[in-house]
Amino acid sequence: MEKKDYRPMWKELGLNLEVHDQLLTVLGNAYKDIYMSQENRPKGMQYLDFVISEAHGLRIEELMETKKKGNKVIGTFCVYVPEELILAVGGTCVGLCAGAEIGIDEAEKVLPRNTCALIKSFMGFKLAGLCPYIQASDLVVGETTCDGKKKAYEILNDYKETYVMEIPQMKTERDRTLWRGEIIQFKEKVEQLTGRKITAENLKEGIKIANDKRRALQRLSALRKAIPSAISGLDALLVNQIAFYDDPLRFTKAINDLCDELEERVQKGIGVTKNGTPRILVSGSPMAVPNWKIPWIIETSGAVVVAEESCVGERSTRDLVDEKGKTLDEMIDAITDRYMKIDCACFTPNEERPAHILDLVEDFKVNGVIHYSIQFCTPYTVEAYKVEKTLQQKGIPVLKIETDYGMEDIGQLKTRIEAFLEMVKG
């Protein structure tokens, strides 16, 4: 089928058409090489292949359609932004482009070179005119997680209105009070932006939509415990990545269908790996589309990734919002508590995270952990020490990796990962 020409829409959104074309070509080729070359993929992945092929096309068209109906689109960069409040008023929450090196030259005009790749990427996407999601957004919501992000949002605000939520750095009662206040203030911001009131009824619905999506992802995660693995780590990562920008109702249905298929595979013992394939947990910084570098190296070196201890993975799907609340106040409490459980390395102390990693190692019968930090990401790079120590004390093999979005270190990383996998097997 002839692909629709979205260039008029991209032009209207103010994208840099020439460079955007180049980006789509690079992405299309990378997807073909990394994803379509995998063998024995579940049929349900065809939906995800379609979504990714239309990520800058049909999905953006859908966003523009919903905007025409008076609904708002809100762009985010962090799993701390409570999407329940956005869904409550018929809004759409989308994760913004932050996983590719393109636009870095533009980003480095306003940011120091030694800024983490994720931050440089979102700034580059905006400044180079390459992210249709930010262009389609009515508001960007940032957060005071790491220093790099919070200072970058001040600059981003010069180009796109950026509302910043204050995230506490600790988890005492006082911090919970601060965070609850932030959620209420954000609720008011959403109400002001949309001209719609958040009520107990619509918030209940928003909570349900977000929870249903998480439940589907939890189902997928649980199915990855099977030996042999019914799905590759690359495919499972893609599902978690697409969760940030697809329509939540359609996505939830598609992932539940995929899980039905995986359940059948598990029952029949059908897998994408052979017996004895090392099972790897990847832990650390989030991997936004199209950051597939590390799992791709791992899975083309004879191992399988069985879980991601990351915001694009377990950290954002593990906890649900308690649905028992009846009043608005009770629901805000439930949202506050759910988000306070996120164990991002921006918190201190962050003892929950090593404990969660140990649980994952046990539950998923993990043979080794690869700790991944985006280069210049201080929170995760520093916290890697504690993670490594905890794992070593239990005799669990661990490899620490620090890298950016570039491809220059692929050979070196492959050598290190292959040596690690040999050790894990031995």
Where are the strands (E) in 179-221, listed by range?
A: none
CB 244, min distance to ligand BJ8, A: 10
To which residue do tokens 């991601």 refer? 308
Question: Does 149 participate in binding ligand BJ8 (rule CB under 6 A)?
Answer: yes
Cβ(176)–Cβ(340) below 8 Å? yes
- Which residues within the stretch 352-391 sit at the binding site for ligand BJ8 (CB under 6 A)? 374, 377, 379-380
Return d(Cα 97, Cα 338) in angstroms, integer.
25
| 320 to 349: interface string for ligand BJ8, x by CB under 6 A | ----------------------x-x-x---
CB atoms under 10 Å from CB of 403, counted, come to: 20
Angle between helices 233-242 and 200-223 (to 10 degrees): 170
Selected binder of ligand BJ8 within 148, 248, 271, 278 (CB under 6 A): 148
Cβ 97 to ligand BJ8 shortest distance, Å? 14
Q: What's the 3-state SS for 25-37?
A: HHHHHHHHHHCCC
Residues 216-245 that bind ligand BJ8 (CB under 6 A): none
Per rule CB under 6 A, is residue 401 in the interface with ligand BJ8?
no
In the complex, least distance from residue 2 CB atom to ligand BJ8, rounded to whole angstroms: 38
Classify 96 as helix, strand or coil: coil
| Nearer CB in complex with ligand BJ8: 281/311 | 311
Alpha carbons 381 and 384: distance in angstroms, whole number: 5
Burial of 68 (0-12, 13-18, 19+ CB in 10 A): exposed
Residue 154 C-alpha from the chain's centroid = 23
Residue 207 tokens, joined:
């909570």
Question: Which pair of tokens denotes residue 373?
Answer: 């930090």
**In whole angstroms, what is the distance from residue 248 CA to residue 91 CA?**
11
Cβ count near 25 (within 10 Å) = 10
Query: Site for ligand BJ8 (CB under 6 A): how many residues?
Result: 20
**Contact assessment for residue 303 and residue 278, using Cβ atoms and an 8 Å cutoff:** yes
116 scored as a contact of ligand BJ8 (CB under 6 A): yes
Terminal CA-CA length for the chain = 50
Tell me the closest approach of the beta carbon of residue 103 to ligand BJ8, in angstroms. 16
Q: Which of 74, 78, 262, 399 is in the footprint of ligand BJ8 by CB under 6 A?
A: 78
Q: Give the residue at shortest CB distance from ligand BJ8.
A: 377
Nearer to ligand BJ8, 10 or 380 (CB): 380
State which of residues 80, 153, 179, 245 lies at the interface with ligand BJ8 (CB under 6 A).
80
Task: In whole angstroms, give the CA distance from residue 193 to residue 265.
Answer: 46
Please select the residue that binds ligand BJ8; options are 145, 221, 241, 252, rule is CB under 6 A.
145
Residue 197, SS3 per DSSP: coil
Residue 139 vs 304, nearer CB to ligand BJ8: 139
- The CA–CA distances, whole Å, from 195 to 2, 70, 189, 424 equal 40, 10, 10, 56
Residues numbered 300-319 forming contacts with ligand BJ8, rule: CB under 6 A: 311
Query: Toward ligand BJ8, which CB reaches closer, 119 or 242?
Result: 119
Nearer to ligand BJ8, 265 or 353 (CB): 353
Among 211, 285, 301, 390, binds ligand BJ8 (CB under 6 A): 285
Among 55, 60, 118, 401, binds ligand BJ8 (CB under 6 A): 118
Question: Which residue ranges make up the site for ligand BJ8 (CB under 6 A)?
Answer: 78-80, 116, 118-119, 145-146, 148-149, 285-286, 311, 342, 344, 346, 374, 377, 379-380
